[in-house]
């Protein structure tokens, strides 16, 4: 199994899910700011993970993976804020938070593994 391809797809699908989940929210200043921030961080996860799989060296791979971990953690923060503000239904939040948590765990473990090389 090609795990790089699996997680390239998974991170992209997660960012698409975030965008779709938030696109139906009505406009307000606070929603606009939060939507922009979480879309930026979730798409950065996908873009930087693609860069991880194309890295030219282990140092470059590790540096990009550090960005992935930072951005998925930020995405997790925005999801917590969205949940506390009750902007999305609990049903939508469960799926988003679950996938985000899994990505946090996998990327953190991968980063740790690369740091040991």
CB proximity list for 93: less than 8 A, separation 6 or greater: 79, 82, 83
CA distance 110 to 102: 12
Residue 85: strand, helix, or coil? helix
- Reading the chain (117 residues) residue by residue, the pLDDT tens digits are 898 999 999 999 999 999 999 999 999 999 999 999 999 999 999 999 999 989 999 999 999 999 999 999 999 999 999 999 999 999 999 999 999 999 999 999 999 998 987
Q: Kindly report the CATH number that applies to the domain delimited by 3-115.
A: 1.20.1440.60
Give this prediction's pTM. 0.93
CB proximity list for 114: less than 8 A, separation 6 or greater: 58, 61, 62, 65
């Amino acid at each position: 199994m090609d795990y790089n391809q699996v997680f390239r797809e998974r991170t992209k699908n997660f960012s698409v899910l975030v965008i779709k989940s938030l696109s139906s929210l009505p406009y307000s200043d606070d929603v606009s700011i939060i939507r922009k921030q979480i879309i930026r961080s979730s798409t950065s996860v996908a873009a930087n993970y693609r860069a991880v799989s194309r890295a030219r060296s282990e140092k470059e791979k590790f540096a990009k993976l550090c960005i992935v971990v930072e951005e998925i953690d930020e995405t997790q923060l925005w999801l917590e804020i969205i949940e506390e503000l009750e902007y999305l239904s609990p049903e939508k939040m469960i799926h988003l938070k679950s996938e985000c948590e899994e990505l946090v765990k996998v990327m953190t473990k991968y980063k740790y593994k690369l740091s040991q090389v």
